[in-house]
Chains A and B, each alone.
Chain A
Amino acid sequence: MTKVLLSLHVLAAIVAVGPVTVAASMFPPAVRAGRMDNLVVLHRICRVYAAVGIAVPLFGFATASALGVLGDAWLITSIALTAAAAAVLVFQVLPGQEKLLAGAPSEGAVATRVRTRLAMQTGTFNLLWATVTVLMIVRPGSTTGV
């Protein structure tokens, strides 16, 4: 059962978080290029796959509880970083994209500031979840050998 849960967890991470990373990273350059039609699709990918991404912590917690590793330091750190990444995505990246989609001016200092901030927040999200991925692979201090 643990192997099934772990497989679903990894599969969900690849299928859900991958598209969000790529689409969110492509969003700020598309704003600069003024490609409105692309922006709608990119934002939709981010929003829908962020929702699908809930499956990742769901199966993650299930796997951890089946393995009995919920108290491990590497896992608690990963959970905290994942929570931070989710908060950045839901409260900063997605609202930032919505603001630019809602017709913020595409030229001028204000547009540049909004777009630059969004690019930085997207980068923060990517960095956080990349860190979690490394923690999941290295698992410092783990002895389960799974």
Chain B
Amino acid sequence: MSVFFRVAAVVECVSLVALLVNLATVHLPVITSLGGPTHGLAYLVVVVVALRDPAASRAAKARAFVPGIGGMLVLRAAAPARPGARA
């Protein structure tokens, strides 16, 4: 997967955490108005890039649609198994 996709996947996940933490604590309006579109567009990028990738399997394309962590799921499934990692 490209660097572009990796960045989008991380932004998708981190921005959602930031939005929820903001909602539960200080609730600054600027974080809501910037974080909302950031998260939404990162989600769209993850979905569109996965759909356009000819190397992506049907399962990877379906995973990309999962809200919040879809990009991470695609990256995790695409990562080669690390030596010594527990199955």
Chain A contacts to B: CB under 8 angstroms: 1, 5, 51, 54, 57-62, 65-66, 90-91, 95
B4 touches A51 (CB 8 A): yes
Known: A5-B33, A62-B37. 15 other contacts (CB 8 A): A1-B30, A5-B34, A54-B41, A54-B45, A58-B34, A58-B37, A58-B38, A61-B37, A62-B34, A65-B32, A66-B29, A90-B48, A90-B52, A91-B52, A95-B52
Closest residue of B by beta carbon distance from A95: B52
| Contacting pair A66 B41 (CB below 8 A) | no
A54: which B residues are within 8 A, CB to CB? 41, 45
Neighbouring A residues of B38 by C-beta, 8 Å: 58
Interface of B is mostly: helix
- B29 cross-chain contacts in A, Cβ below 8 A: 66
Q: Taking beta carbons and an 8 Å cutoff, which residues of B are in contact with A?
A: 4, 29-30, 32-34, 36-38, 40-41, 45, 48, 52
> Is B33 in contact with A65, judged by CB distance below 8 angstroms?
yes
For the complex, what is the distance from the CA of A91 to the CA of B52, rounded to whole Å?
8
A30 CB to closest chain B CB, in angstroms?
23
Partner of A61 from B30, B36, B45, B48 at Cβ < 8 Å: B36
Contacts of A62 in B (CB 8 A): 33-34, 36-37
Question: Can you list 20 A-B contacts (CB < 8 A)?
Answer: A1-B30, A5-B33, A5-B34, A51-B4, A54-B41, A57-B41, A58-B34, A58-B38, A58-B41, A59-B37, A60-B37, A61-B33, A62-B37, A65-B32, A65-B36, A66-B29, A66-B30, A90-B52, A91-B52, A95-B52
Which residues of chain B come closer than 8 Å to A60, judged between CB atoms?
A: 37
Q: Is the CB of B40 within 8 A of A61?
A: yes
A5, B45: Cα distance in complex, Å: 21
8 pairs of A and B residues whose beta carbons are closest in the complex: A61-B37, A65-B33, A62-B34, A62-B33, A58-B37, A66-B33, A58-B41, A62-B37
Q: Which residues of B contact A65 (CB under 8 A)?
A: 32-33, 36-37
